DNA sequence: GGCATAGTACAATACATCTTGTACAAAAGA
DNA sequence: TCTTTTGTACAAGATGTATTGTACTATGCC
């Protein structure tokens, strides 16, 4: 309600993004956001990079769909983004996540790595 | 398809339950199953008990809804159940889960405990 | 057998989600 | 300014989910 209003207004203004309040970040939202293969792959790749990544650093789906998934990740509290010129950069909110849900991200990413094929 | 056929047939026969093959248990399915508050509460409680728990050991929603959520958990690979007389008992598949996705369940449950109010 | 109890099946509702197509806005460069 | 690039907004369709109500099956006990 209030959140939605703010989000809509800010996003219509373009180049201004809404983020959830710290107390509105839930473990359910995080887990739901991570339960999609595309998004989990995004998060996994972001976690491997110290620096911010360009919006389309992964070529795994359509542009519109990437926008959608990044929005889900952002509204769940997992990522932050910023525009620089025409480009958009994205990064993981490790600080907040590790503080709110210690061990969660490491547990998920660790299990994911243990599952995946060994990388070269 | 094949799975659905088997599942339907077995469940129609009643008192016979279908479980996913080991290779069909995915981290996405696990995370999706855990992303619901009711189910996460179920799993958290099961994790605290060494022994099997009766079907309705948690009084948090309707009977039919419990059946639904236990089915989701079972088909995701998280739990096993068994009938004894009229009663149904449920337990967590810690062995399989820790082997397939090491650190996942501990990470989620640890984060959940860190989030929750301290218990007496 | 008759009856109560435990859990399921099924249908219906309401709602969220993923994906794609079309159209648009904002910035950069000529 | 005109054009290209980058990402969004919006709508539509297909699909999945959470919940409840009604009816049913299976078991145990009298």
Is residue A111 assigned to a domain? no
3-state SS assignment for residue B19? coil
* DSSP structural state of residue B21: -
* CB A62 within 7 Å, strand D: no
Query: Where is pLDDT greater, at A97 or A15?
Result: A97
At B117 the pLDDT is: 58
pLDDT at A88 over 70: yes
Under the banding of pLDDT at 50, 70 and 90, the label for residue A58 is confident
Is residue A110 assigned to a domain? no
Q: Indicate the number of domains in chain B.
A: 1
Protein-to-nucleotide distance from the CA of B75 to the C1' of D17, whole angstroms: 15
With contact defined as beta carbons under 8 Å apart, do A31 and B34 qualify? yes
**Phi then psi for B12, rounded to 5 degrees?**
-65, -35
**Phi then psi for B9, rounded to 5 degrees?**
-60, -50
Smallest CA-to-CA distance from A30 within A71, A75, A60 is with A75
Measured between CA atoms, how close is B13 to chain A, in angstroms?
Answer: 32
Is residue B10 assigned to a domain? no
Task: Check CB contact under 8 Å for A107 and B112.
Answer: no
Protein-to-nucleotide distance from the CA of B3 to the C1' of D17, whole angstroms: 20
pLDDT at B17 over 90: no
* CB B68 within 7 Å, strand D: yes
Measured between CA atoms, how close is A100 to chain B, in angstroms?
Answer: 7
Query: In the structure encoding, which two tokens stand for residue B36, read together?
Result: 């619901």
Is residue B66 assigned to a domain? yes
Query: In the structure encoding, which two tokens stand for residue A117, read together?
Result: 């094929």
Is residue A19 assigned to a domain? yes
Is residue B46 assigned to a domain? yes
Query: In the structure encoding, which two tokens stand for residue B95, read together?
Result: 């062995």
CA dihedral A19, A92, B78, B34 (to 10 degrees): -10
pLDDT at A55 over 50: yes
pLDDT at A5 over 50: no
Query: Where is pLDDT greater, at A88 or B118?
Result: A88
Residue span of the structural domain in which B49 resides: 23-115
Is residue A83 assigned to a domain? yes
* Domain at B34, CATH number: 1.10.10.10
């Amino acid at each position: 309600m209030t959140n939605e209003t703010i989000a809509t207004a800010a996003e219509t203004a373009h180049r201004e993004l809404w983020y959830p309040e710290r107390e509105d970040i839930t473990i359910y939202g995080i887990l739901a956001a991570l339960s999609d293969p595309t998004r989990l792959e995004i998060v996994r790749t972001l976690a491997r990079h110290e620096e911010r990544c360009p919006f389309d650093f992964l070529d795994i789906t359509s542009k519109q769909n990437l926008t959608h998934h990044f929005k889900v990740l952002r509204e769940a509290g997992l990522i932050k983004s910023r525009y620089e010129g025409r480009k958009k950069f994205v990064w993981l909110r490790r600080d907040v996540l590790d503080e709110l849900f210690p061990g969660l991200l490491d547990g998920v990413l660790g299990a994911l790595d243990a599952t995946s094929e060994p990388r070269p």
